Amino acid sequence: MTVKVAIAGASGRMGRMLVEAALADNQIELVAALDLPGSPFLGRDAADFLGRETGVPISSDIEAAFAVADALIDFTRPEGTLQHLAAARVAGKAMVIGTTGFEAAGKAAIAEAAKEIPVVFAPNMAVGVNAVFKVLEIAARILSSGYDVEVIEAHHRHKVDAPSGTALRMGEVVAKALGRDLEECAVYGREGVTGERPANQIGFATIRGGDVVGDHTVLFAGLGERIEITHKGSSRMPYATGALRAAHFLSGRGPGLYDMQDVLGLR
């Protein structure tokens, strides 16, 4: 079954990758592409950057996009995504949300909207990363005693939120498996005389620089050994193909808040 999709932020790095992936998927039809009002790309063909013509111009009209699309894929900024979510709710259409950096109120708004429309909301859409989430859950249960946990992530210089949504999700997965509350045991960076490391702490370290697509490592450090579980992204394409897989998952599905573990059948 062909799924008709609209793509938000179509002129951005991730938006262009989504457009390219959608055009390569014979079960996806790209029917709308969105950008901010005033963008210099408005009116251009969504695949102009590929030297192709799709007949889908980039627009800022979200209502028109939902009039023709089954689902919107959004990897933009929290404020824009929440506006699109409100429009999706009115239109009764599905959303795939890969945007990160939401505050608690934003996450609550997504959960509330998902009572009326189907939503896949995940900090990372890549299939490999979601396989790592499952591996981390198993590893944390095995290494539940005598191991300190640290999460190290690296991204390109343009990323605006830290730690990354993927790093935070890794921390949440490990904390849940260990029976801890991440809000209580997380520490984000260290400086000065910090004192001895508490046994139940989960530390986060953030690196920003260059064009790093996304590297994530969870370190379980014990006495005499270290276990490192790492995922390295060399392209944004896995995030795009994962998002399209999520759009397929939502086709014909009722209201609900889903993530990539649901999409991949890992529950």
All domains in the chain, ordered by first residue: 3-125+236-263 (3.40.50.720), 127-233 (3.30.360.10)
216 belongs to the catalytic site: no
| Three-state secondary structure readout of the chain | CCEEEEECCCCCHHHHHHHHHHHHCCCEEEEEEECCCCCCCCCCECCHHHCCCCCCEEECCHHHHHHHCCEEEECCCHHHHHHHHHHHHHHCCEEEECCCCCCHHHHHHHHHHCCCCEEEECCCCCHHHHHHHHHHHHHHHHCCCCCEEEEEEEECCCCCCCCCHHHHHHHHHHHHHHCCCHHHHEEECCCCCCCCCCCCCEEEEEEECCCCCEEEEEEEEECCEEEEEEEEECCCHHHHHHHHHHHHHHCCCCCEEECHHHHCCCC
pLDDT tens, residue by residue, 159-182? 999 999 899 999 999 999 999 999
Choose the catalytic residue: 84, 155, 216, 231.
155
Choose the catalytic residue: 4, 93, 107, 159.
159
- What is the predicted pLDDT for the residue at 266? 86
pLDDT tens, residue by residue, 201-243? 999 999 999 999 999 999 999 999 999 999 999 999 999 999 9
- What is the predicted pLDDT for the residue at 267? 78
- What is the predicted pLDDT for the residue at 202? 98
84 belongs to the catalytic site: no
Residues of the chain short of pLDDT 70, as ranges, are: none
- What is the predicted pLDDT for the residue at 212? 96
